[in-house]
Amino acid sequence: MVVLVCLLNNSVLALFDTGTVLQKGKIELDVALNPSESIVNGQNFAFLQYGLGNGYEAHGYISKYGTFFTHNNDTWEYYGGIMKQWLSYKQLDLATSVGIRTKSLQRINPCLIGPGVLYTINFNKVFRVAGHLQYVGELVDGGVRAFNRGYTAEMGFYYRFNYGFEIAAGLFMNSTADVRPIYTFNFYLN
């Protein structure tokens, strides 16, 4: 399924947004790879999450378009943020998150990611659907300015093989209605 989704649009992003925070002290690493730059606009992506307790989670990512073997600093992207889960039921979790994203390219201002609504629908212990509807704006001296995006949306299907490993595949849409397939390999480290 991951291969099929990647071929639909010849591009791929990472999939990591869910409405479920990690328990205190737990760590999750989500990874998407484009090792040979075979996928146009594909990313090499690592997203790290850490459970803070009381429904909070710190998270962040580092991403590089293309391949790691080209050392073009313009293609690196960094994000750090915090998430608060405000609803938790057996089959539905809802949260909000906010963070700052920046690119290594100096002429681009940092972006505010969020606030937004993140969701998880749990069907059973191994299968869930999750994603987000989230604001993206450009940070400038006078505050936040729209960054030709407005809102982004994501929906993914997650399948857990065992306690420590999960795969996810889905779709991401920015506010200009560009839809791209996304996937990750998710590792639960403790």
Q: The domain that contains 11 carries what CATH number?
A: 2.40.160
pTM for the structure as a whole: 0.80
Higher pLDDT, 101 or 35: 101
pLDDT, residue 8, reads: 32
Number of domains in the chain: 1
For all residues of the chain together, what is the average pLDDT? 78
List the domain range (segments joined by +) for residue 84: 2-188
User: Does the pLDDT at position 81 exceed 70?
Assistant: yes
Please tell me the predicted confidence (pLDDT) of residue 3: 28
Q: How does pLDDT run across 125-166, given as a tens digit for each residue? A: 899 999 988 877 766 666 556 555 577 788 899 999 987 899
Helix intervals (H) in the chain:
2-9
Phi-psi region of 10 (alpha: psi -120 to 50; beta: other; left: phi over 0): left
The pLDDT confidence band at residue 59, using thresholds 50, 70 and 90, is very high
Query: Which residue, chain included where needed, has tokens 């779709």?
Result: 171
Long-range contacts of 123-129 (CB under 8 A, 24+ apart): 123/91, 125/160, 126/159, 126/160, 126/161, 127/157, 127/158, 127/159, 127/160, 128/18, 128/157, 128/158, 129/155, 129/156, 129/157, 129/158
